[in-house]
Amino acid sequence: MKTYVLDTNVLLHDPQALFKFEDNQVILPLTVIEEIDRFKKEQSETGRNARQISRMIDGFRKKAKLFEGVPLDNGGNFRVAIYHEEFLQKLPPELQVDQGDNRIIAVAKDLQENSAEGTVIFVTKDINLRIKADTIGMIAEDYQNDKISVDDLYTGTTELMVSKDQVDQFYELGSIDIEGEFNANQGITLIDETNPSHSAIGRYDAIAQQVKPLLRVPKEGVWGIHARNREQQFAFDLLLNDDIQLVSLVGKAGTGKTLLAIAAGLLKTADESVYSRLLVSRPVFPMGRDLGFLPGDVEEKLAPWMQPIFDNVELLLSSVDEGGKRKRGYRELIDLGLMEIEPLTYIRGRSIPRQYMIVDEAQNLTPHEIKTIITRAGEGTKIVLTGDPYQIDNPYVDSASNGLTYAVERFKGQEIAGHMTLTKGERSSLAELAANLL
């Protein structure tokens, strides 16, 4: 049996972490419970997690003494360990300052030296604390339960070498049968094995097990926007397909994630009336943070965070229609009820029917927050998640454990979901160079 000592940030990230260590022993230093208590009044996801943990441990208390150990349903055991002042003296002088992190690591060190129950492993999402633990001879690990390597993240597209006749057949008949392991709505590039310049692109239909053509984009583009590369063509196909209810777009700055999503959303709401309105939101970091620290109403308070959205809408509205008239201003779209900017703070408990919902900067959300958002989708609603896993501001997630990458992997292969990773920057040559060099 192994013994896992958990840090506070592990439970604040995932309240169910206590049950993720199979039939081993899970130990919480009493200091962790004390730190969790400081978060319980917050009206944020962290605060909600803190309250859930407290209720969970209180339930354990009713079963047995916490300091003696409580059997878990998965066969493991839970126990609370008490800190003693002499524990701190076992640490190097640099770590003998009486503070929370040092108390937690001191309890773990004492268990390592005196435990007869096998290997003791300290689990924390704090990088520096893992370094400290390793330095004093402990086994320290990150909480890996929901981690997905960005390098191994599903890209949403693949290339397939086929015969010349198959490429010709695709153009003639509009589809071809293919064999192999492909995901529903995956972008497929068919390449003539005898002439690589002879190719075709399509989307995989999992039911028919065929590659079918991408949806036709209007000649004038999508609100004046034309796909500039193959990945953007695949992305537009997903964004404009009403049968695909969840779309995720991942890519570095300048690849067009947000612009494509908003353009498609405006086409589907303002022009085609498939959806009642375009709902755009970004996490006001952290999600659930009180907006009262800024003056004005909700819209004025949101303005600093939503300005990138306004910039993209203004770019789309700067084009003109065939009559030479400027398209509607974004203020008019809001006044007409066709577009709404709303904080994610107030989404819990709502139902959102017949809306085209874009969640920008989704990489700053936790897996639980992403679940909360997607489960708000009512009948006829489409949700688009956009973000860059390498640009994260939330200290409780990283490139491998954020809600965006979590959703991409969990919905991979589902018939009502599609994903595309955009790699080529199209904002400007300077932006593309900066994204690659800096």
Instruction: Of 361, 406, 421, give the one whose Cα is nearest residue 147.
Output: 406
- Write down the number of H helices and E strands in the chain: 14, 17
Regarding pTM above 0.85, the answer is: no
Q: What are 109-117's contacts with CB under 8 Å, separation 24+?
A: 109/136, 109/138, 110/84, 111/3, 111/5, 111/27, 111/81, 112/137, 112/138, 115/3, 117/1, 117/3, 117/25
- CATH 3.40.50.1010 in the chain, residues? 3-141
Interatomic CA distance for residues 1 and 178, integer angstroms: 48
- CATH 3.40.50.300 in the chain, residues? 223-437
Q: Counting every residue, how long is the chain?
A: 438
**Across the 438 residues of the chain, what is the mean pLDDT of every consecutive 10-residue run?**
92 90 93 94 84 94 92 91 91 91 94 81 93 94 77 92 95 92 96 95 95 92 92 97 97 90 93 92 60 59 69 71 55 79 70 91 88 89 94 78 91 96 84 75
Q: Say what the pLDDT of residue 295 is.
A: 61
Q: DSSP code of 354?
A: S
Residues in Cβ contact with 327 at an 8 Å cutoff, skipping those fewer than 6 apart: 223, 316, 317, 319, 320, 321
Q: Say what the pLDDT of residue 114 is.
A: 85
Pick one of 3.40.50.1010, 2.40.110.10, 3.40.190.10, 3.60.10.10 as the CATH number of 3-141: 3.40.50.1010
CATH topology of domain 223-437: Rossmann fold (3.40.50)
Phi/psi at 141 (5° precision) = -135, 155
